[in-house]
Amino acid sequence: MRISKRRFPFPVHILVFLAPAVLLYSLFMVIPLVNSLRLSFFEINNQNQVSFAGLQNYVKLFTDSNFAPSFWRALRNNFVFFAVHMLVQNPIGLLLAALLAAGGRIRNFFRTIIFMPTVLSVVIIGFIWQLILNPLWGVAESMLEAVGLGAWFGPWLGKPETALVTVALISVWQFVGIPMILFYAALIGIPEELTEAARVDGATGWEIFWHVKFPLILPTVGIVSVLTFVGNFNAFDLIYTMKGANAGPDFSTDIMGTLFYRTFFGQQLQLGNPTMGATVAAMMFLIILTGVLLYMFLWARRVQSYEL
Amino acid sequence: MRTTPLYRLRQWIEKSIPIIILTIYALISLFPIVMILFNSFKAKKAIFGTPFALPTSETFSLIGYETVLDRATFHIYFLNSGIVTFVALVLTLFVGAMAAFALAEYDFPGNAMVALYLSIGIMIPIRLGTVGILRLMVSLKLVNTLTGLILIYVAQALPMTIFILSQFMRQVPKDLKDAARIDGASEYRIFGMVLPLVRPALGAIGIFTMIPIWNDLWFPLIVAPSAKTATVTLGVQQFLGQWVSDWNAVLSSLTMAMIPILLLYIIFSQQMIRSITAGALK
């Protein structure tokens, strides 16, 4: 039997539809990203000559006394920054979502209010909190005094021991709306029959939440975690706004994003270094990629089976 | 049925605890923003003397706004942000819709590969390519231009736009398109027909594309830091850096930078939140 050959015209229209997006995306995102990664294997000398350096930049970043201490510090700080988000932002987001999921006009109003800081620029949020926490203005201090915690107040942003956690909590305050809204969407999607069955069996609200609802929203827990991870290891604006490129005091708020900026553009005493900057960016890329792949292959696969 | 007052009281408390927690958290979310808004309309003495009070006829002052309008070129920043956000938004939606249509409509070899290639950008932040982007901008002579910023933002927003839009386009009934094809409509005409049908999705994606572009500090700082091309976010950041000690000016410039996004949010918040909840349900 012969399959009859029908000549289709070449699908020019598919090319026309796809070309602009693929070109723009490739030219301004993928190719620069690949070039950045490539540059991390090269060296540029004072005469602006580029030469292949193998893994030398990475060795320098991990061991050289000019780079290694700040790299490891930024990496550690970034994990602290991430931990604060996982331990504070996402549980609060889940609590608020659980409370909002009951519905009603007043809860919808609260939902709108709590999501509001999320849409504002990080620069604005950074300055607002700098003013609120400023001892000169004393707003935060008088508020703490009003609830009897006045003695707790201190120049949190100015002390190396507290600055990083304070900045992380400000970021939590701003972005709690994102986990909240994602958990909320997952919770209101749970079919009522499931919770009703548990209620008939005499389960309390607390039991229903942890034994029926929570297992069902596990996929969202994964998505929220990976979004938090990517966002945190890519963060820059808040620290740059509040503490400058030097991520003070004494580099105590330095994370990967600010380290990347300083290494690439330089600071007061040190010239910018494109290849070392590219190396820091490549490390950020590797960290983020690891997180995303772990999520995709370990979490997302295992959790799929629980889905309805 | 036992409905003793004590039982009813217990029920009332159980019902109101969630509302109390939500009220407290809503206050925590709102109060820093409200503090800035109120105090920007007060004289310096009242900002420090009675920070928690509303502005009264005695303490009311616009001195901060006068300083800002005098010293800073806010109208240029607003214009720049407006142009960049608007053009990037329109380009993203149009170019993204075309690609999404191709991926959703035609079963061509390599469809899955192109879709995968385009979706890498959903998870990998474009910032990591900054070194390469800056070098490209230098060679294209696009440093300190709004065009450079627009192109970067379009590339940044395309992956998510295409991913979401192609899902919506798959839901457009096939009969509709096939009927048009039988009538001899070209594929471009059919695209023009489908586009209005996914308008709600375009609106939602539009809002979520716009906000990060308007708020971005990184690329204006690196690619277009000149006074002529500064966006609102960068302009405020630099202005505030210079005027830290002038509280009136600081509070007023923060308020001015917040107002457009807050207004937009208040108008579209219901739609925005509904679109996330609807999207996540799928």
Amino acid, res. A186: A
Domains and CATH numbers, chain A: 67-304 (1.10.3720.10)
Q: What's the burial of A192, exposed, middle or buried (CB within 10 Å: 0-12/13-18/19+)?
A: exposed
Residue of B nearest to A241 (CA): B237
- Torsion A90-A94-A99-A101 (CA) sign: positive
> Taking CB atoms and an 8 Å limit, are A112 and B25 in contact across chains?
no
Listed by start position, the domains of chain B span: 5-61, 72-242
Asked whether residue A86 carries a pLDDT value surpassing 70, the answer given is: yes
Residue type, B258: M
Check: CB of residue A190 under 8 Å from CB of residue A218. Answer: no
Contacts across the A-B interface (CB distance below 8 Å):
243
Q: How far is Cα B110 from Cα A216, in angstroms, rounded to an integer?
A: 35
Structure tokens, A146: 């009003």
**Averaged pLDDT for residues A100-109:** 85
> pTM (2 decimals)?
0.90
Mean per-residue pLDDT of chain B: 89
| In the predicted structure, residue A108 carries a pLDDT above the cut 90 | no
Lowest mean pLDDT among A85-89, A296-300, B28-32, B259-263: A296-300
Q: B30 and A116: CB-CB below 8 Å?
A: yes
Q: What is the mean pLDDT of chain A?
A: 89
Which tokens is B190 given?
A: 């059919």
What is d(CA A28, CA A217) in angstroms, rounded to the nearest whole number?
Answer: 36
pLDDT the model gives residue A57: 93
The better pLDDT of the pair A283, B4 is held by: A283
* pLDDT level of residue A70 (50, 70, 90 thresholds): very high
Two tokens, residue A140: 């935060």
Length of chain B: 282
Q: What is the pLDDT of residues B6-33, one digit of tens each?
A: 888 888 887 888 899 999 999 999 999 9
Chain A residues touching B21 at Cβ < 8 A: 95, 99
Name the amino acid, one letter, at B228: K
Is B280's pLDDT higher than 60?
Answer: no
> Is the pLDDT reported for residue B279 higher than 70?
no
Which pLDDT belongs to residue A35? 94
Q: What is the pLDDT of residue B281?
A: 43
Q: Is B7 exposed, middle or buried (0-12, 13-18, 19+ CB in 10 A)?
A: exposed
Farthest-apart Cα atoms in chain B, separation: 81
Predicted interface score ipTM higher than 0.95: no
The pLDDT, as a whole number, for residue A237 is 92
What is the per-residue pLDDT for A142?
85
Given a cut of 60, is residue A219 above it in pLDDT? Answer: yes
Nearest partner of B103 among B122, B88, B118, B121, judged by Cα: B118
Instruction: Tell whether the model's pLDDT for residue B50 goes beyond 90.
Output: no
Interval A20-42 mean pLDDT: 95
pLDDT of the residue at A169: 96
Residues B10, B11, B14: CA angle, nearest 5 degrees: 85
Please report the pLDDT score of residue A98 as a whole number. 94
- The alpha carbon of A306 is separated from its chain's Cα centroid by a whole number of angstroms, namely 26
Q: Which residue has the higher pLDDT, A8 or B59?
A: B59
CB contact under 8 A, B130 and A36: yes
- Per-residue pLDDT at B132 exceeds 60: yes
Q: List b or e across A149-167, with b for residues whose CB sees 16 or more CB atoms inside 10 angstroms.
A: eeeebeebbeeeebbbbbb
Q: How much of chain A exceeds pLDDT 70, in percent?
A: 95
Domain B72-242 has CATH 1.10.3720.10: yes
Give the pLDDT score at B282: 43
Q: Note the residue count of chain A.
A: 308
List pLDDT tens digits, range A162-171.
999 999 999 9
Residue B267, Cβ density class (10 Å: 0-12 exposed, 13-18 middle, ≥19 buried): exposed
Give contacts of B135 with chain A, Cβ < 8 Å: 32, 35, 274
What proportion of chain B, given as a percentage, has pLDDT over 90? 49
**Which pLDDT belongs to residue B73?**
83
Residues B76-103, mean pLDDT to the nearest whole number:
95
- A2-5, long-range: CB < 8 A, 24+ apart: none
- Pairing state of beta strands A42-44 and A50-52? antiparallel
Chain B residues with CB-CB distance to A124 below 8 A: 236, 254, 257-258
Facing residues of A50 across strands? A44
Check pLDDT > 60 for residue A307. no
> Are A283 and A256 within 8 A, CB to CB?
yes
DSSP character for A6?
-
Model confidence over A277-304: pLDDT tens digits?
999 999 999 999 999 999 988 887 777 6
Q: Are A256 and B125 a contacting pair, CB within 8 Å?
A: no
How many CA atoms, within 13 angstroms, populate the side-chain half-sphere of residue B8? Answer: 5
Contact assessment for residue B231 and residue B84, using Cβ atoms and an 8 Å cutoff: yes
Contacts with B280 from chain A: Cβ below 8 Å: 182, 185-186, 189, 220
pLDDT at B137: 95
pLDDT digits 0-9 by tens, B143-190: 999 999 999 999 999 999 999 899 889 988 888 899 999 998 899 999
Nearest alpha-carbon partner for B68 in B258, B260, B245, B239: B239
Average pLDDT over residues A204-225: 90
Whether B112 and chain A come into contact, CB under 8 Å, resolves to: no
Whether the predicted pLDDT of A1 surpasses 50: no
Highest mean pLDDT among A3-17, A270-284, B266-280: A270-284
